[in-house]
Amino acid sequence: MRLRLAYRVAFCTGIAMWCGNAAAQSPANREVQQFPSKPIRFVVPFPAGGANNVLARLFAQQLSEYWGQQVVVDNRPGAGSIIGSEIVAKAPPDGYTILIVGQGYVLNPSLYEKLPYDTINDFARVAKIAIAPSILVVHPSVPAKTIKELIAFAKATPGGLTYASPSVGSNGHLSMELFKHLAGAEMVHVPYKGGGDAITALISGQVQQLFTAPGSVVQHVKSGRLRVLGISSATRIPSMPEVPAIAETLPGYEVVNFHGILAPSRTPKPIIDKLNAEIVRILQSPDIRRRMEDLGFEPVSGTPEEFTASVTAEIAKFSKLLKNAGIKPM
């Protein structure tokens, strides 16, 4: 009896070990263990030149160096980031196609009556990587030197001031629409295909003002081709203490942009976690943090679950803000 029992125990143990080894060597597990085994496509739903593009190229370089696999930045602009986002939403859920998003990701559900994807269910949140206030810059031909003077000038010339944005529904669009709402001033919106195009139009004098990331125009401000009037955060920030918060003139004004990385939904959780871990590792590098801060970004990190909770809260928040500002879905 004892010998028979020993054989049974040995047989069951062998079966368990075989099943464990088989699971470990299954195609799905091997795919996760070997990820990435080929180049990764990093979609930027805007043209070159804007904040999302700058961050995507910074992280693509770091990921490529660490993994030894090329991470290719693919700019797919159009329709307020919808075109590039749809590409990723419909891509194979294997981790080899990822997307960088900004504030437009949480604004679009309230700005468009129908999107070609579900903002929450068609994407897996990988990691939030940065937050950043915008600065309001004007062309030197605008006589205003302060936010108060800009509001007075706009009211004296209703509809005479133009402002650029990277696209309809972008953070720049929302920032100015809320500004107009609180200031009680009328200005004309001129949307472009991306942040780079909007900045070029402002420098050339085709439009008169723009909300944008500090890092994207810092050289133009230093050269005198643009003038900064205010920042969109609730208070002044340490890196630009001389720039007043718009809230100092318009109490309650605050719009802070975020940037994050997504993948198609149904991407295996172990791959999402592997991507997240590598992004967090990059964000912990003092050199990367310093480079991001010099460009006006505040590095942030967290789990995919924390990013999803943040996105859900932002969608609800901006749905209410847009409604109160009278901005209707298109």
The token duo for 85 is 């986002």
> What's the pLDDT score for residue 24?
52
State the DSSP H helix or E strand holding residue 221, giving kind and residue range, or none if neither.
helix 214-222
Task: List C-alpha distances in Å: 85 to 34, 74, 89, 123, 320.
Answer: 26, 12, 6, 9, 23
Q: Considering the chain, what percentage of its residues have pLDDT values greater than 70?
A: 89
Same CATH fold assignment for domains 39-131+257-324 and 135-248: yes
The domain at 135-248 falls in which architecture? 3-Layer(aba) Sandwich (3.40)
Alpha-carbon span 243 to 236, nearest angstrom: 7
Q: Domain map of the chain by residue range?
A: 39-131+257-324, 135-248
> What's the pLDDT score for residue 3?
46
Q: What is the CATH number of domain 39-131+257-324?
A: 3.40.190.150
> What's the pLDDT score for residue 7?
55
- Report helix, strand or coil for 100: strand
Residue 131: CB atoms within 10 A of its CB come to 16
AA identity, residue 106: V
- What pTM did the predictor assign? 0.76
Residue 62: CB atoms within 10 A of its CB come to 19
Reported residue count of the chain is 330
Residues of the chain predicted below pLDDT 70: 1-28, 31, 325, 329
> What's the pLDDT score for residue 196?
85
> What's the pLDDT score for residue 168?
76
